[in-house]
Amino acid sequence: MAQKPSIPKGTRDFNPEQVAKRNYIFSTVRSAFETFGFQPIETPSFENSNTLMGKYGDEGDRLIFKILNSGDYLSKANEKAYSEKDSNTLTSSISEKALRYDLTVPFARYVVQHQNDIEFPFKRYQVQPVWRADRPQKGRFREFYQCDADVVGSDSLWQEVEFIQLYDTVFSALKLDGVTIKINNRKILSGIAEVIGASDKLIDFTVALDKLDKIGEEKVKQEMLGKGIPQSGIDKLAPLFSISGNFESQIDSLKAILSISEEGKKGIEELEFINNAISVLGLKTAKLQLDVTLARGLNYYTGAIFEVAAPEGVKMGSIGGGGRYDDLTGIFGMPNMSGVGISFGLDRIYLVLEELNLFPETVSKNVEVLFINFGNKEALFSLKAIKQLREQGIHAELYPDAAKMKKQMTHANRREIPFVVLVGDQEINSSTYTLKNMKTGVQEKVALDALISSIKRSPEGQFRT
C-alpha cells in the first residue's frame, strides 16, 4: 500500500510563489543589513547538546529538538535512567546533538570559538531556520526562520541609534509604512523596581508589566500583588500607568519617578541620547515610541529593549524585537563582551505584507515566454531562439512534448505565462516567430531581435535580473 504523504505538524512546504515572496523579504533585509555594514555568517543546523541545553531555561530545554545518536545508541544509555524508564535523564546519554533553537546562542558560541579570527567590534547577520517543539498554532511553527543582526564588542549607544535606522530602512523598503518602533531600557525597569521596593522581584515585576496591553492595569496589579510586591509599592506605580504623550514628556515623567534611582537615571540618559540622535537624523516612515511597559519577557537584556509593532489597524503581534545584553559570551568563557542586536519576524512580516497587499506584482519570477512545441524540427528551431533569449536574461522555456496545441495553450494560461511563441514551417522558412500576448490576445510575426525587445519592453518583463 502506498503511504498517504504528509509532513510533520508545525512544518510547511513552500510553493514557488511563497518562496518568491519570502525571498523578497529576505533579500530586502539582507541588503539593508549589508549597507549598514553587517556581514553574514552561518552556523550548523545542529549543535552539540551541551552548547544549547541550559541556555533557554527549563521550558527551552524541553522545546529543543534532540537528535538520536547513530548506530547502537542504547549501548551507551544511562543504566539507571534506562531501568527507571526516565526519559528526561536518559536523553543526554542517547542524544549528543540538538537542532538550533535560536541564532543568538550559536552566535555566542561562534564568537568564542573563532575569537582569534574575528576583528572586533564584529557586526554579523544571520538568516537561518530554527526549530522548536512548541505546540503549533496560527502563526507559530516548529520550523521557522530568524533574521538577526548583532554587534558584539562595543557598548556604544550609536549602535542602538543605527538599529532604529535599520528597522526604519527595512520596513520603508518593504513599503510597510507607519510601523512603531517601541523602545525601553532595562535600567528604567530596574529603577522602577527599586523605587517601589521590588528590586529582588525584578523579573516578576517586568513579566507582569509586560502584560499591560493584554490584560489591563487591574490584572497586572493583581499579578504583582500575588508575586509579593507590596501594595505600597504598587501605589507608587500609578504615574507609570498613566504616562502618555510624546517621547520627551514621557521622559519628564520618568525623571520625576526615578529621581532617587541612579540606575533609573542612567536608563533615562541612554533613552534621551538615542531619541535626540534619531530626532536629528530623522526616520523615513517609522515612528519611535517610548514604552515603559516593554520588557519582552526576556531576562537577558541589560540596556535598550526594542520591539516593532505593525502599522495601526493591522492585528498582529510584534514583527521585530531586540536589545542590549552585556554578557553575550560569558557562558562560553569569554566575559565582558557587550552585544546588541535586533531580529525580524519573517512569518509575521509576510502575513502583514499579504494582508496589506504590499508584495510587488513582479516578485514571483515566473516564466515570461513559452514556446509551443509542434514537433522535433520546430522544437530545435525554437531552442535556438530560446538560447538567445535566456542569454538576455529572459525566462523562457519550450513545452517539452508536441502535445495538442490547446493543451499547451491551457498550460500557458494556468501558469499565467504572459507570452507564447508559435513556430511552424512558415516561421522556420522566414526565420520569424509568431509572438502572442496572452493577456491581450494580440499576435505578431517578428524577427528574433524584435521578439527579444518586445518581451523585454513589456511590463511583465521588469523582474528580469
161 binds its own copies (CB under 8 A): yes
Site for its own copies in 392-431 (CB under 8 A): 393-398, 400-401, 411, 414-415
66 binds its own copies (CB under 8 A): yes
Q: By the 8 A CB rule, do 304 and 270 touch? A: yes
Is there a binding annotation on residue 350?
Answer: no
C-alpha closest to that of 286 among 322, 253, 319, 254: 319
C-alpha closest to that of 99 among 137, 139, 51: 51
Is there a binding annotation on residue 206?
Answer: no
Is there a binding annotation on residue 146?
Answer: yes
Binding test (CB under 8 A) with its own copies, winner from 21, 24, 25, 47: 47
Taking the complex as a whole, the smallest distance from the CB of residue 425 to its own copies amounts, in Å, to 18
Compute the CA torsion angle 266, 268, 274, 276 (nearest 10 deg).
Answer: -120
304 binds its own copies (CB under 8 A): no
Written as one letter, the residue type at 33 is: F
| Longest pairwise C-alpha distance within the chain | 95
Between 113 and 180, CB nearer to its own copies: 113
- Helix/strand/coil for 141: coil
- Alpha carbon of 261 to those of 19, 184, 250, 325: distances in Å? 51, 16, 17, 21
Site for its own copies in 100-119 (CB under 8 A): 109-110, 112-114, 117, 119
Span from 62-70, 227-235, 292-300, 316-324 in contact with its own copies (CB under 8 A): 62-70
| Residue whose entry in the numeric block shows the C-alpha cell 532595562 | 186
Between 158 and 249, CB nearer to its own copies: 158
131 binds its own copies (CB under 8 A): yes
Phi and psi, residue 123, nearest 5°: -105, 105
Binding test (CB under 8 A) with its own copies, winner from 165, 184, 206, 302: 165
331 binds its own copies (CB under 8 A): yes
Site for its own copies in 214-243 (CB under 8 A): none
Span from 159-167, 191-199, 236-244, 291-299 in contact with its own copies (CB under 8 A): 159-167
Taking the complex as a whole, the smallest distance from the CB of residue 18 to its own copies amounts, in Å, to 8
Taking the complex as a whole, the smallest distance from the CB of residue 362 to its own copies amounts, in Å, to 13
- Alpha carbon of 130 to those of 100, 110, 138, 145, 232: distances in Å? 5, 16, 17, 6, 44
Is there a binding annotation on residue 296?
Answer: yes
Is there a binding annotation on residue 300?
Answer: yes
Name the DSSP letter for residue 199.
G
Q: Hey, what's the cell of 205?
A: 515585576
Distance CA 297, CA 301 (A): 10
Is there a binding annotation on residue 426?
Answer: no
139 binds its own copies (CB under 8 A): no
Taking the complex as a whole, the smallest distance from the CB of residue 147 to its own copies amounts, in Å, to 14
| Exposed / middle / buried, residue 170 (Cβ in 10 Å: 0-12, 13-18, 19+) | buried
Binding test (CB under 8 A) with its own copies, winner from 215, 238, 260, 281: 281
Taking the complex as a whole, the smallest distance from the CB of residue 404 to its own copies amounts, in Å, to 14
Q: Which residues are annotated as a binding site for L-histidine?
A: 102-104, 132, 146, 150, 296, 300-301
